[in-house]
């Protein structure tokens, strides 16, 4: 049994066990692995957002709230492959990590047969995984600042190879002409600027609250552009 199937099995085993729970030793015997492997698997499920906790004492073990879990989802292999292809096509895009976590959650609640079909189909879709969104640490800081509405401290290298340090109010993320951009109000220039993400050398979230600029004042998008929410 591969790890993906084992994670699904552990999750469903704990869901069925309800408040009785299962110990690491019981799960290890069921899946023929070591208790240490089970503990790593449980930690991975917790990291993915599944509500598993360890109960101490004589009747201790791992417990999951059945009301907080989903039954197997009626998702087709083609639908999952479409999600996987969309994520892979823009590897390194803003919120890429969260998208991959969401896909893993979908896979974890699929029926095993459907999940195997989805895995087989995605292996037949190949995509060049070039990264167009720059340094992952800077990208995560930009994502956080945009979400929390915080000012960003940027070190940016422009097209003329000039490096500057700026404080900016993040407004939107835009993908155009094959690159990702942060559109932000530059506090030094007191105007909107487009910062290409792969030219951001460093980004740090500050404690300052960002000033919002009406999206319509950013400009008229191309006729083929639209917010992700409208797609």
- pLDDT at residue 2 in the model: 76
How many folded domains does the chain comprise? 3
- pLDDT at residue 222 in the model: 65
- pLDDT at residue 72 in the model: 60
- pLDDT at residue 207 in the model: 96
- pLDDT at residue 128 in the model: 63
- pLDDT at residue 36 in the model: 92
- Residue 218 inside a domain? The answer is yes
Question: How far is it, in rounded angstroms, from Cα 120 to Cα 197?
Answer: 34
Question: How far is it, in rounded angstroms, from Cα 138 to Cα 136?
Answer: 5
- Name, in order, each residue with C-beta under 8 angstroms of 73's C-beta and a sequence gap of 6 or more: 106, 109, 110
- pLDDT at residue 51 in the model: 84
- pLDDT at residue 58 in the model: 67
- Residue 56 inside a domain? The answer is yes
Specify whether 142 is located in the same domain as 223: yes
In which residue are the tokens 């969260």 written? 98
Specify whether 81 is located in the same domain as 56: no
Beta bridge partners of 169: 185
Specify whether 55 is located in the same domain as 16: yes
Mark the ranges of the chain whose per-residue pLDDT is less than 70. 1, 57-59, 66-73, 90, 127-133, 220-231
Specify whether 117 is located in the same domain as 141: no
Question: How far is it, in rounded angstroms, from Cα 124 to Cα 185?
Answer: 43
Of 122, 156, 187, the last residue of a domain is 122
pTM of the model: 0.57
- pLDDT at residue 184 in the model: 94
Specify whether 150 is located in the same domain as 222: yes
Of 87, 122, 157, the last residue of a domain is 122
Domain span at residue 27 reads 3-68
182 backbone dihedrals φ, ψ, rounded to 5°: -100, 120
Question: How far is it, in rounded angstroms, from Cα 107 to Cα 112?
Answer: 9
Question: How far is it, in rounded angstroms, from Cα 161 to Cα 182?
Answer: 18
For 141-154, how does the pLDDT look when each residue is reduced to its tens digit (9 = 90+)? 998 999 999 999 99
Structure tokens at 41: 């698997």
């Amino acid at each position: 049994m591969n790890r993906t199937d084992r994670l699904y099995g552990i999750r469903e085993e704990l869901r069925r066990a309800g408040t009785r729970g299962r110990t690491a030793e019981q799960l290890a015997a069921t899946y023929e692995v070591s208790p240490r492997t089970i503990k790593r698997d449980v930690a991975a499920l917790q990291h993915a957002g599944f509500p598993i906790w360890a109960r101490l004492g004589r009747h201790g073990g791992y417990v999951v709230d059945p009301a907080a879990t989903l039954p197997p989802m009626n998702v087709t292999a083609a639908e999952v492959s479409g999600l996987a292809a969309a994520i892979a096509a823009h590897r390194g895009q803003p919120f890429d990590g969260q998208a991959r976590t969401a896909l893993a959650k979908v896979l974890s609640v699929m029926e095993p047969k459907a999940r195997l079909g989805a895995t087989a189909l995605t292996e037949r879709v190949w995509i060049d995984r070039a990264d167009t969104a720059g340094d992952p640490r800077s990208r995560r800081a930009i994502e956080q600042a945009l979400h929390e509405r915080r000012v960003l401290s940027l070190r940016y290298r422009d097209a003329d190879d000039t490096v500057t340090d700026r404080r900016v109010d993040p407004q939107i993320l835009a993908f155009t002409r094959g690159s990702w951009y942060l559109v932000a109000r530059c506090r030094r220039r007191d105007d909107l600027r487009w910062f290409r993400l792969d030219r951001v050398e460093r980004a740090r979230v500050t404690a300052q609250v960002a000033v919002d600029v009406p999206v319509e004042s950013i400009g008229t998008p191309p006729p083929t552009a639209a917010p992700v929410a409208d797609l």
